[in-house]
Amino acid sequence: MHTKTLKQLSALLQTKQVSATELARHFLQRIDASDLNAFLHVDAGLTLAQAAAADARLARGDSTALTGIPIAHKDIFVTRDWRATAGSKMLENYISPFDATVVERFNSAGMVTLGKLNCDEFAMGSSNQNSHFGPVRNPWDKLAIPGGSSGGSAAAIAARLSPAATATDTGGSIRQPASLCGVTGIKPTYGRVSRFGMIAFASSLDQAGPIAQTAEDCALLLNAMAGFDPRDSTSLERADEDFTRDLQRDVRGLRIGVPREYFGEGLAPDVEQAVRAALAEYEKLGATLVDISLPKTALSIPVYYVIAPAEASSNLSRFDGVRYGHRAEHYGDLSDMYKRTRAEGFGEEVKLRILVGAYVLSHGYYDAYYLQAQKIRRLIAEDFKQAFTQCDVIMGPVSPTVAWDLGEKVDDPVANYLADIFTLSTSLAGLPGMSIPCGFGQGEKNSRRPVGLQLIGNYFEEAKLLNIAHQYQLATGWHQMQPLA
């Protein structure tokens, strides 16, 4: 049952070959037996109550394609019934008085929540090793990281602990863990999906999206997830779309832009080989490859690591021991209470980013760092604008290497930052991006670790990206491969 795609499970539910309750029990059992540390909070009673409601809806005949399908949410989305920790000690026991818009939308479609998924603290990281609740293991090799910050989401899909998961991407956190765990994920155009109830990291970059086994499943999930929300001031007012509408279109004549800068020094040979093989597959399907340049790619790292910490330093000021979560037990005056609370509640990486953020925003440095970064951010978006005059979609690797070992790069923030080189610029430009499984590499350890192909589209072209990804998945079997455990 767990090997089936969301689309297949939906058909079984609609024809009453399986009930929502049976599905929920099956996945809860798998979660219970798993040793990946992908889930932070599971409550079978709550899940089964939602499943019973879904079964009643299915019996009444007022169901949607998603009714009765289990889903798990990254623990960055607030939920009324489950804890919302953001992977932080600061919010260890926090329960929100409301559901995030994304959660609310899936609930009203009749989906069944399996629980909350582990992630890097406040979504800061690319290996899930910054979670206060311990790292998640990669189901393909339990000695490897799953990627981050949505490591729990990607690992849960890869290990078939859930057919669907939510995730968020600020600089790569949907695409990179999807790539390292061999599953499919899409980060929509900035503003497509409501940020209301998503615990904020860097508001001008944060964007939610789905992770699942296939592009087709992601399209079905995005149909429910996307849409205008008056409670999010950056939500886009656009007509609702059916993201499955173009899935069947063939890719003959498609012009694929291959950025030179994505295939240079630093790209591991095993990753390059898998990505080039995927490009060759697209040529077989009738697409043509166009050599393009995104000259500002290297600058995306310093730009992102100025802008994201700047926004984080402001967003995280709300965690003061008064309004949310943890408060130090022993303190002197009010200011001492703030200091101790934040010293105890935040982990190392979060503190580092708050310091960097406060520094680049401070008087005297603002012009040199923050303002400069904003200007270059604009030029990065111009790179893409120029590229899309020559091609319909851009493709390349998601991550320069396959998943690294647990314990590696823990004390080296810069090594982590460098691994984001191929995902940051898409986020800075606000463009939609995807990762689909396209093979395996060896890493250094001679184990089998997945490689993802990145697809970057122009603004609002999610339906096109999903179409292009689906056509590849019709022709290849990488997305169907599963880890042994």
Which residues contribute to the site for ligand GLN (CB under 6 A)? 123-126, 149, 169-173, 201, 308, 420
Structure tokens at 4: 């089936």
Q: How far is the CB of 256 from ligand GLN (least distance, A)?
A: 25
Element (H, E) at 116: strand 112-117
Q: How far is the CB of 454 from ligand GLN (least distance, A)?
A: 14
Q: How far is the CB of 90 from ligand GLN (least distance, A)?
A: 17
Q: Which of 10, 88, 96, 149 is catalytic?
A: 149
Choice between 374 and 476, CB closer to ligand GLN: 374
Residue with tokens 């849960």: 156
* Residue from 448, 413, 463 nearest 141 by CA: 448
Q: Is 173 a catalytic residue?
A: yes
Q: How far is the CB of 171 from ligand GLN (least distance, A)?
A: 3
Residue 452, SS3 per DSSP: strand
Choice between 111 and 350, CB closer to ligand GLN: 350
Q: How far is the CB of 61 from ligand GLN (least distance, A)?
A: 40
Q: Is 96 a catalytic residue?
A: no
Q: How far is the CB of 450 from ligand GLN (least distance, A)?
A: 18
| Cα separation, 244 vs 250, whole angstroms | 14
| Pairing outcome for strands 255-259 and 393-397 | parallel
Choice between 187 and 326, CB closer to ligand GLN: 187
Q: Which residues contact 98 (CB under 8 A, 6 or more apart)?
A: 78, 80, 197
Q: Is 149 a catalytic residue?
A: yes
Q: In what order do the strands lie in the sheet with 449-456?
A: 39-41, 112-117, 70-74, 164-169, 207-212, 184-187, 433-441, 449-456, 393-397, 255-259, 288-292
Q: Which of 7, 74, 187, 464 is catalytic?
A: 74
| Cα separation, 81 vs 101, whole angstroms | 14
HSE-CB for 416 with a 13 A CA cutoff: 26
Structure tokens at 74: 């990254």
Taking CB atoms, the residue at the shortest distance from ligand GLN is 173
Q: Which of 10, 96, 131, 173 is catalytic?
A: 173
Query: In which region does residue 253 sit, left (phi positive, over 0), alpha (psi from -120 to 50) or beta (all else)?
Result: left
Choice between 47 and 149, CB closer to ligand GLN: 149
Q: DSSP string spanning 399-414?
A: SSSS--BTTTTTT-HH
Choice between 349 and 392, CB closer to ligand GLN: 349
Choice between 251 and 419, CB closer to ligand GLN: 419
Catalytic residues: 74, 149, 173
